[in-house]
């Protein structure tokens, strides 16, 4: 547990007042699950918000208990002397609005009916998820965010954060992300959603009191997702055409190949920790995210932002490709914003953002410690 933040507990904060969503719907109450690492200084200006990807949670670093073997999802980068150095910074991570790991979402009980929301939960956007996180920061009394950082969907939220609160965000780190999904990426999300909806057990989203849940649909959606997180080279490196626990084909429709077994395993472990309705809502929010469309142009979107930017992409990531990262970089350069950009070479596809941590550690640490002039009282 060296360099670890140690044992951590997820905490909860409830926003009692109505939140006005982008769709116009007013929603309350909203409970936010969050974890924090490090100490908020007296001036409350050393806070860093890290934001998880599509199916992550608030448990970004440390262990849940003494016997816990698996640390939080970004533990490699968050901790004492790590990139997000908890000796210096106060790191916060929340579970996304509409999620299923502690924050209010479709699987939560609607206090008005005593039943889970199901698909009566309002459709929300990335901007809405950012608003909820801002409410939590307000609760902490944070007046300025030292940095907001996220990868993939977390990167979308991070850039929306910098846009929604231009005076509040001092620096922004965007990793393997985009200002809008490609139609190809939307297509994969659509098949994932279709797989859930076409599972008879989904039952229009009312499955919480049923014995069978739309597990098959959800695990298929996850398998499709995992195909997009890898790339051709990663699949060759990881599996090749190797067979799973056998020397020859079985000439039936059971699992033969390692890649099949991997996907099935990923699907299986996913249903234990994720809610099918949350998957529908969150992928929809990701599909709707389009800064060009929303603000007229990328330039308009970022024009008021006072943040410094660090942008990272991975050369083998075809889901959130370098070309999309460069669009953001070029826009920020045109607007004369302070921006740095690095394309990391990796054979891991989109997954690289959680795997290639050594290079990222160097880059992020340099950016946070050397580039953003911090008037931080340690």
Partner 1 sequence: MNNHYNSSKGLHLNYSIISDLIDENSKVLDLGCGNGYLLELLRKTKKIKGNGIEISQNKVIECLEKGLSVIQGDIDEGLKQFSDKSYDYVILNQTLQSTRTPDFVLEEMLRVGKKCIVSFPNFAYWKIRFYLFFLGKMPKSKVLPFEWYDTPNIHLLTIKDFFEFAKKRNITIENGLYTTKAKVRKAIQYNIFSNFFAQEAIFILKKD
Q: Which residues bind partner 1 (CB under 8 A)?
A: 308, 310, 326, 329-331, 333-334, 336, 338-345, 359, 362-363, 366-367, 370-371
We find the least distance from the C-beta atom of residue 346 to partner 1, in angstroms, to be 10
We find the least distance from the C-beta atom of residue 314 to partner 1, in angstroms, to be 11
Q: Are strands 115-116 and 11-15 parallel, antiparallel or unpaired?
A: unpaired
We find the least distance from the C-beta atom of residue 5 to partner 1, in angstroms, to be 25
Of the listed 4, 317, 346, 351, which one is catalytic?
317
Q: Which is nearer to partner 1, 21 or 339 (CB)?
A: 339
In three state form, how does the secondary structure of the chain look? Answer: CCCCCCECCCEEEEECCCEECCCCCEECCEEEEEEEECCCCCCCCCEEEEECCCCCCCCCCCECCCCCCCCCCCCCCEECCCCEECCCCEEEEECCCCCCCCCCCCCCEECCCCEECHHHCCCCCHHHHHHHHHHHHHHHCCCCEEEEEEECHHHHHHHHHHHHCCCCECEEEEECCCCECCHHHHHHHHHHHHHHHCCHHHHHHCCCCCCCCCHHHHHHHHHHHHHHHCCHHHHHHHCCCCECCCCCCCCCCCCCEHHHHHHHHHHHHHHCCCCHHHHHHHHHHHHHCEHHHHHCCHHHHHCCCCCEEEEEEECCCCCCCHHHHHHHHHHHHHCCCCEEEEEECCCCHHHHHHHCHHHHHHHHHHHHHHHCCCCCCC
Of the listed 152, 195, 278, 307, which one is catalytic?
152
Of the listed 57, 316, 350, 351, which one is catalytic?
350
Q: For residue 256, indicate whether it is catalytic.
A: no
Q: For residue 152, indicate whether it is catalytic.
A: yes
Q: Which is nearer to partner 1, 300 or 330 (CB)?
A: 330
We find the least distance from the C-beta atom of residue 365 to partner 1, in angstroms, to be 9
Q: Which is nearer to partner 1, 121 or 341 (CB)?
A: 341
We find the least distance from the C-beta atom of residue 341 to partner 1, in angstroms, to be 5
Q: Which is nearer to partner 1, 370 or 377 (CB)?
A: 370
- Residues 123, 193: Cα–Cα separation, whole Å: 14
* Residue 34: strand pairing partners: 11, 94
We find the least distance from the C-beta atom of residue 154 to partner 1, in angstroms, to be 21
CA dihedral sign of residues 255, 261, 265, 271? negative
Q: Which is nearer to partner 1, 230 or 344 (CB)?
A: 344
Q: Which is nearer to partner 1, 224 or 329 (CB)?
A: 329
Q: For residue 317, indicate whether it is catalytic.
A: yes
We find the least distance from the C-beta atom of residue 225 to partner 1, in angstroms, to be 28
Q: Which is nearer to partner 1, 276 or 329 (CB)?
A: 329
Residue numbers annotated as active site: 152, 317, 350
């Amino acid at each position: 547990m060296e360099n670890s933040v140690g044992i951590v507990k997820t905490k909860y904060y409830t926003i009692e007042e109505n939140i006005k969503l982008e769709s116009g719907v007013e929603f309350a109450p909203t409970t936010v699950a969050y974890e924090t690492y490090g100490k908020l200084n007296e001036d409350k200006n050393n806070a860093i918000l890290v934001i998880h990807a599509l199916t992550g949670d608030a448990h970004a670093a440390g262990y849940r208990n003494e016997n816990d073997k698996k640390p939080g999802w970004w533990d490699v980068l968050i901790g004492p002397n790590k990139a997000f150095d908890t000796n210096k910074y106060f790191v916060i991570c929340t579970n996304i609005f509409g999620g299923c790991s502690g924050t209010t979402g479709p699987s939560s009980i609607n206090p008005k009916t005593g039943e889970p929301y199901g698909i009566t939960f309002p459709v929300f956007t990335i901007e809405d998820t950012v608003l909820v996180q801002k409410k939590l920061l307000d609760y902490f009394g944070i007046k300025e965010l030292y940095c907001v950082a996220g990868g993939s969907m977390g990167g979308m939220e991070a850039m929306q954060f910098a846009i929604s609160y231009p005076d509040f965000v001092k620096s922004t780190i965007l990793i393997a992300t985009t200002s809008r999904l490609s139609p190809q990426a939307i297509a994969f999300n659509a098949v994932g959603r279709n797989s859930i909806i076409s599972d008879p057990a989904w039952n229009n989203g009312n499955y919480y009191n049923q014995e069978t849940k739309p597990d098959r649909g959800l695990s298929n959606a996850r398998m499709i997702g995992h195909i997009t997180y890898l790339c051709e080279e990663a699949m060759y490196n990881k599996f090749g055409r190797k067979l799973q626990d056998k020397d020859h084909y079985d000439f039936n429709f059971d699992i033969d190949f390692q890649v099949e077994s991997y996907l099935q395993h990923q699907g299986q472990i996913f249903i234990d920790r994720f809610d099918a309705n949350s998957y529908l809502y969150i992928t929809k929010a990701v599909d709707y995210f389009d800064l060009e469309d929303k603000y007229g142009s990328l330039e308009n979107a970022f024009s008021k932002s006072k943040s410094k930017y660090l942008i990272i992409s991975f050369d083998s990531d075809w889901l959130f490709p370098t070309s999309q990262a460069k669009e953001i970089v070029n826009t920020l350069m045109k607007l004369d914003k302070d921006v740095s950009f690095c394309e990391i070479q990796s054979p891991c596809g989109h997954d690289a953002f959680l795997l290639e941590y050594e290079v990222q550690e160097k880059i992020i640490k340099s950016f946070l410690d050397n580039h953003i002039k911090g008037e931080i009282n340690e």
